[in-house]
Amino acid sequence: MATRTKFTKQLEDIEGYLNRLTEKAASDVRAAGLAATGDKGAAEGVMSGRKTEDRLRNAIEENCLDVMLLQQPLIGEDLRFVSGAFRIVSDLTHIDGMTRDVCWLVEEIPAKAAKKLSAELSEMSECAARMVEQSGAAFAASDVEAAQKVVEQDNRVNELYSEVEEKLVGLIREGKSSARYLPELLMVAKYFERIGDLSKRVAAWAIFRVTGEHVVAEKTSQRLDAEEQED
């Protein structure tokens, strides 16, 4: 009985830590969006949150490993939850790391230049933050339908990224001074687009928790894996 009680407590701890990491990642995505549109103060909390991220990640991974090694045999829904949580933590910490990269980039971009893309970057960051939240909630609730909706939302993030590209090309053609910051502005948008893709991977693990099948667009998964190696 004591062993089962400890096992239940470990599963609850994993879920609690995972929820906190999801909330932190989504909050940091929104803060990065504010920073990208000229609010330099919004970046401070993001840049100082690395230790919190590390603590949550370590707590999740240690509990997952402890369960997988000591609670045998681990089968069915419990196995899918623990293995899914172990993989999700990597995607969430990668998302949180990208928000710090955004905040670092925007330090080089004048507020006047960022303002020209404020509408697109604001919507991108909000869409990406919602995807983070909803994918995590879908995993916690074992909700396949909610997970599938996250995948669908990524279409809008991709559309916004294309709009940013088109607008930046227009700025170059017009000879606007903002075009000097093309690499930084485009990379900021790219980070939000990649956060959307990573949220899709979290949603895929939510589906896995229910069905036992992990399905994510092969092209997207390969691209993200290649980009992770580059980072």
Position 22 pLDDT exceeds 80: yes
Average pLDDT, stretch 121-138? 96
pLDDT digits (tens, 9 = 90+) for 25-50: 999 999 999 999 888 788 888 888 88
Distance CA 49, CA 42 (A): 12
Is-above-0.85 flag for pTM?
yes
38, containing H or E segment: none
Question: Where would I find the H helices in 48-143?
Answer: 50-70, 76-106, 111-115, 118-141
User: Which of these ranges, 7-16, 139-148, 173-182, 191-200, has the smallest mean pLDDT?
Assistant: 173-182
Distance CA 223, CA 220 (A): 5
pLDDT digits (tens, 9 = 90+) for 205-219: 999 999 988 876 554
Handedness of CA 216, 217, 218, 222 (dihedral sign): negative
The pLDDT-based confidence of 2 (bands split at 50, 70, 90) is very low
Confidence (pLDDT) at 120: 92
Which residue range is the domain that position 215 belongs to?
2-230
195, containing H or E segment: helix 182-211
Q: Two tokens at 193?
A: 């687009």
Q: What is the CATH number of the domain that holds 122?
A: 1.20.58.220
Q: Two tokens at 95?
A: 């998302």
Most confident of 57-71, 162-176, 190-204: 190-204
The pLDDT-based confidence of 158 (bands split at 50, 70, 90) is very high
Distance CA 153, CA 7 (A): 36
Distance CA 27, CA 31 (A): 6
Confidence (pLDDT) at 78: 85
CB-CB contact of 111 with 38 (8 Å): yes
Backbone angles phi, psi at 93, to 5 degrees: -70, -30
Q: Based on the structure, what is the number of domains in the chain?
A: 1
Position 103 pLDDT exceeds 80: yes
Average pLDDT, stretch 5-24? 91
List, in order, residues 6 or more apart from 205 with CB less than 8 Å away.
84, 87, 88, 139, 214
High-pLDDT (> 90) share of the chain, %: 58
